[in-house]
Structure 1
Amino acid sequence: MIQAIGLTSNPRKELPPAVDDVSFEAHAGHVTALLGAPGAGKTTALRLMLELQRGRGITYFRGRPLHRIPHPAHEVGVLLGDVPGHPARSVRGHLRMLCAASGVPARRADEVLEAVGLVSLRDERLGTLSRGMDRRLGLACALLPDPHTLVLDDPARGLSAGERRWLHGMLRAHASQGGTVLWTTADPKEAARIADHVVTLECGRLVADQDAADFSRTRLRPRVAVRSPHAARLSALLAQEARSAQRSVEVVREGGNRLCVYGSTCADVGETAFRNGIVVHQIADEIGDMGPGAGAADRAADDRADRADRAGPDTRTPRHATVGPQPPAPEAPRHHPAVPAAAGAPVAVPGDPEAPQAPAEDARPADGARSRRAEGTPGPGADLPPPISVRPAPRPLRPVRYEIRRATGVGTGFLVGAAVLVVSAVIAVLLARVGHTPQPRLLAAWPRELPLPPAALGAGLLGALAFGDEFRHPALAADRGTVPRRLGLLTAKLLVASATALVLAVLTVGCDAELLYLLYGREVVEIPADWFPLSAGWLGLVTGCACAGVLAAGVFRSATAGLAAVVAVPVLVVPLVHKVMEVPSVRTPVPFAARLREGLPFRWPFGGERHLDAVLRLVAQPVGGALTLSLAALLCAYLLTGVRSRVR
């Protein structure tokens, strides 16, 4: 159950708030429609409910606000706009990545793909999906952790009639199993047909909160929809007969060959057409709209059908008929079956004692429809994926698994690594040909003119992409629309970025050494005597750049800003550290290792004080000190921004 209380957005410049004191409830086992014209405040209301926009009010999901739910994705499945994900990622890879983020088994991705009918497109890229397939994938992302509540923002926008029927059947199936469904729409007829409860917004205010039956009776008007190639003549004849009989009949021309007649019946309109020899292509009873601007999607579909009618009988299915006196067409039921018609499920009509009743409020039956579905017996939710058992782990194991799948799901990281190896090899060959370059810089392909070697820049770029792409193409945002600042996620990104940087550093030195050995002989690649501190410094530099890129992108929410922060370390911070270290010191130049041996009552095993002295000397160098200072500042900024977002 959803309880929205006093939702009010912050006021805008010289404009009233987009949502002003909106309160309503969406009950479990029911489909609730949030209805309103474009600009009525539907999306703003959803964003306030999901704590994605600043304002006042509170929303309870089964008695708890969203920020009090430990794992929101397991409680609320959300689809706001397009599917948040990298366009180069495959459909199956995207879902498996979200499985790791949500703490559900990887096989869940295949189950959800089968439920939404995307098995044949599982290897397609997100950027190549059509609008209908994108909607199906969005619903799959929302259903992935088996949530109790679905919150969807205009999910049927841009879909064909068949895809709309499929979507409505899926929503009805979820509600029939005890779940809560809240979705927005601008079409009142669609809301009346599909929803059990309709909440109407107008100019950011709540104007109606009704059952579907009351909504249809009080806010919609019955009408007769007619399509004829002689619509203008039929409209004039109907208006003339209404004036002669002194009846209140309104004829509205909706463009093309379509008429909507209010205050009449199919029999009266058909008799008028028959007496005057007017060919009618279609005539049916419909539920009208609430006024101007409503039902624009249906009118667009009707216009397409009119164009097909005018194209001739060879391009469509023949529907010509000369209509005479006939009884009115039976009115279609307002509520669709619990599952799509292909599943053969019974129709759920409110008030019918023989129809299957919705489960008790806030109850998700574990031994009813879901158990029948697990046993293979047809039930109301046969098209939904099977239930799962979620055991979220407190360790960052699943975030690490998520980050590995995120990094390897697209080819950007591999392309950056290959480019770094090629550029490093070319620079190393050129430096060896010119000469006068120390061997450590030669193996690292680091000329003095560059602030950082290519491997360090590549590691910083990969670290910046690890968080920058998260904000550009959100993946964890499937539940709340923004990337959460969790320490587990940050730890996973730092671990994976550091491991990637270490691999890149080793491969760079190895490839450069092998190429130099082949071109110039053994003397160019001899192992120096102080190889250990040099190796530690090299690995520390590349790893520090990767971590700085991750933290900077997390703070500034941009991969470009993350890479700029990495480059700013040698360009801006290192000169400042140089100036600070040029200040004369009054301390004696006794090595730190000697002072450490004199100050401690015990001795370090295996000469540990020498290694610690080497590490501290490395940090004391300008680049090492600048990196350490930058990492500390970025980590503090990341933690402070995370605390601010939680306080809000």
Structure 2
Amino acid sequence: MSRARPLAFAVTGLSKSFGVETPVRDVSFVVPAGTVAVLVGPPGAGKTTVLRMLLGLLTPTSGTANIGGPGSGVQRGRQAVGSMLTPRGLHPARTARDQLRVFAAAAGVSDDRVDELLTLVRLDAVADQRILGFTPGMQTRLALAVALLGEPPLLVLDDPTLGLDGAETAWLYDYLRTHTRRGGTVLLTTRTLSAALPVADELIVLDHGAIAYQGSPARLRRSHPDRLLVKSSSQIAFATALAAQGFTDAVMRPDGRLAVAEASVAQLEAAAAAAQVQLTEVTAEHIHPDQVLATLTRGPATPAYAAPSYSAPAAYGMSR
């Protein structure tokens, strides 16, 4: 039997109150080393507040938030963490190169590493331009470079796809997967489930500060499957035949169509033949991941920290 992975992040009973507001309520989760975990939720769900407590920038009202643990390969906790929060903390009057050099000097990192990172995040061509003129996507890439200066094994990234186009997002996710294959660990946040799925090993969905779902993308997908909407000459006989063949996840819709999960058209046709009924309509119903998120959450809350907007979500993506 394989040994359990050491924990890179561990949050237990975490809560935070600001006066009468409690943006985080009794949140608990762990992130094993070598994985990508994604905190997902609408604005005000508590994602950034959790990250700030994990990084020691906010003191929890109750509970604990720890980085590293026995056997995790992390020594003295936060020294091994690279973080990117919102707002990005960039000085608008500095150039990209100067911004990185300021942080590099504080971290004892050479200017060679600065040049390497400017190339990595594709800002080398604008390295001597002032940040004031950067697009949100360029600012995000520069903030990522700051987080990577010390080559930390643990990354904590708040809204890392903010302002990025499709190609830039694909590059980022490929980089993060490579990072975990090398033994690193990533905890990031996003507002949309569709943005999380292509990279997540583990999902933690927050709703008004509390956990609404925790588990793998595949398990969440199985609980919200795509369906085939079917009409037949006898819906009762057809549903009975489906159940007899093991297709028990079938729901009658108000419009009279039977919504069947985990079945192919060929299997529907076989059940119809067994029931001696005729299929008159078969329509695919694809469930968008952000429809799933909407069923898990109650929409935006008043955020403790202002959160930026996102671009339109992509298609459901692949489960991992």
User: Same fold by TM (over 0.5)?
Assistant: yes
Tell me if 1:221 matches 2:228: no
Q: 1:7, 1:21 within 8 Å by CA — same for their partners in 2? A: yes
Q: Which residue of 2 aligns with 1:92?
A: 97
Match for residue 181 of structure 1 among 186, 189, 193: 186
| Superposed counterparts of 1:97-108, under 5 Å | 97-108=102-113
Specify whether residues 120 and 202 from structure 1 end up closer, same or farther in structure 2 by C-alpha distance, changes over 3 A only: same
SS at match of 2:105: helix
Unaligned runs of 5+ in 2: 1-7, 236-249, 267-283, 300-308
Tell me if 1:4 matches 2:11: yes
Specify whether residues 22 and 107 from structure 1 end up closer, same or farther in structure 2 by C-alpha distance, changes over 3 A only: same
- Cα deviation, 1:28-67, whole Å, max 9, x if unaligned, reads 1110111222222111111111121232322222129xxx
Q: Which residue of 2 aligns with 1:274?
A: none
Tell me if 1:125 matches 2:130: yes
- Cα deviation, 1:469-500, whole Å, max 9, x if unaligned, reads xxxxxxxxxxxxxxxxxxxxxxxxxxxxxxxx
SS at match of 2:23: coil
Q: Which residue of 2 aligns with 1:60?
A: 66
1:79 counterpart letter in structure 2:
M
SS at match of 2:125: helix
Q: 2:14, 2:26 within 8 Å by CA — same for their partners in 1? A: yes
SS at match of 1:194: coil
Q: Which residue of 1 aligns with 2:171?
A: 166
Q: 1:34, 1:201 within 8 Å by CA — same for their partners in 2? A: yes
SS at match of 1:34: strand
| Superposed counterparts of 1:501-520, under 5 Å | none
How far residue 6 of structure 1 moved from its aligned partner, in angstroms, is 2.0
> Aligned pairs, how many?
261
Specify whether residues 263 and 161 from structure 1 end up closer, same or farther in structure 2 by C-alpha distance, changes over 3 A only: farther
Q: Which residue of 1 aligns with 2:48?
A: 43
Structure with bigger helix share is 1
Q: 2:137, 2:162 within 8 Å by CA — same for their partners in 1? A: no
Specify whether residues 77 and 249 from structure 1 end up closer, same or farther in structure 2 by C-alpha distance, changes over 3 A only: farther
Specify whether residues 162 and 244 from structure 1 end up closer, same or farther in structure 2 by C-alpha distance, changes over 3 A only: farther
Specify whether residues 128 and 48 from structure 1 end up closer, same or farther in structure 2 by C-alpha distance, changes over 3 A only: same
Specify whether residues 113 and 84 from structure 1 end up closer, same or farther in structure 2 by C-alpha distance, changes over 3 A only: same
Name the CA distance, whole Å, in 1 between partners of 2:285 and 2:108.
Answer: 50
Specify whether residues 195 and 284 from structure 1 end up closer, same or farther in structure 2 by C-alpha distance, changes over 3 A only: same
Q: Which has the higher contact order (CA 8 A, sep 6+)?
A: 2
Structure with bigger strand share is 2
| Superposed counterparts of 1:625-636, under 5 Å | none
Q: 1:221, 1:290 within 8 Å by CA — same for their partners in 2? A: no
2:292 counterpart letter in structure 1:
M
| Superposed counterparts of 1:246-645, under 5 Å | 246=235, 248=251, 287-288=288-289, 289-292=291-294, 333-335=318-320
- Cα deviation, 1:558-597, whole Å, max 9, x if unaligned, reads xxxxxxxxxxxxxxxxxxxxxxxxxxxxxxxxxxxxxxxx
Match for residue 193 of structure 1 among 189, 198, 212: 198
Match for residue 115 of structure 2 among 97, 110, 124: 110
- Cα deviation, 1:284-315, whole Å, max 9, x if unaligned, reads 9665432538899675679xxxxxxxxxxxxx
- Cα deviation, 1:480-536, whole Å, max 9, x if unaligned, reads xxxxxxxxxxxxxxxxxxxxxxxxxxxxxxxxxxxxxxxxxxxxxxxxxxxxxxxxx
What RMSD over aligned residues (CA atoms) do the two structures have, in Å? 3.5
- Which structure has the larger Rg? 1
- Cα deviation, 1:211-249, whole Å, max 9, x if unaligned, reads 23212222x33269xxxxxxxxxxxxx8xx748774858
Q: Which residue of 2 aligns with 1:80?
A: 85
SS at match of 1:94: helix
SS at match of 2:198: helix
Specify whether residues 266 and 94 from structure 1 end up closer, same or farther in structure 2 by C-alpha distance, changes over 3 A only: farther
Q: Which residue of 2 aligns with 1:152?
A: 157
How far residue 166 of structure 1 moved from its aligned partner, in angstroms, is 1.7
Q: Which residue of 2 aligns with 1:21?
A: 26
Name the CA distance, whole Å, in 1 between partners of 2:130 and 2:264.
Answer: 48
Name the CA distance, whole Å, in 1 between partners of 2:80 and 2:183.
Answer: 13
Q: Which residue of 1 aligns with 2:278?
A: none
Percent identity over paired residues: 35
1:4 counterpart letter in structure 2:
V
- Cα deviation, 1:332-362, whole Å, max 9, x if unaligned, reads 6424xxxxxxxxxxxxxxxxxxxxxxxxxxx
Specify whether residues 97 and 132 from structure 1 end up closer, same or farther in structure 2 by C-alpha distance, changes over 3 A only: same
Specify whether residues 6 and 19 from structure 1 end up closer, same or farther in structure 2 by C-alpha distance, changes over 3 A only: same
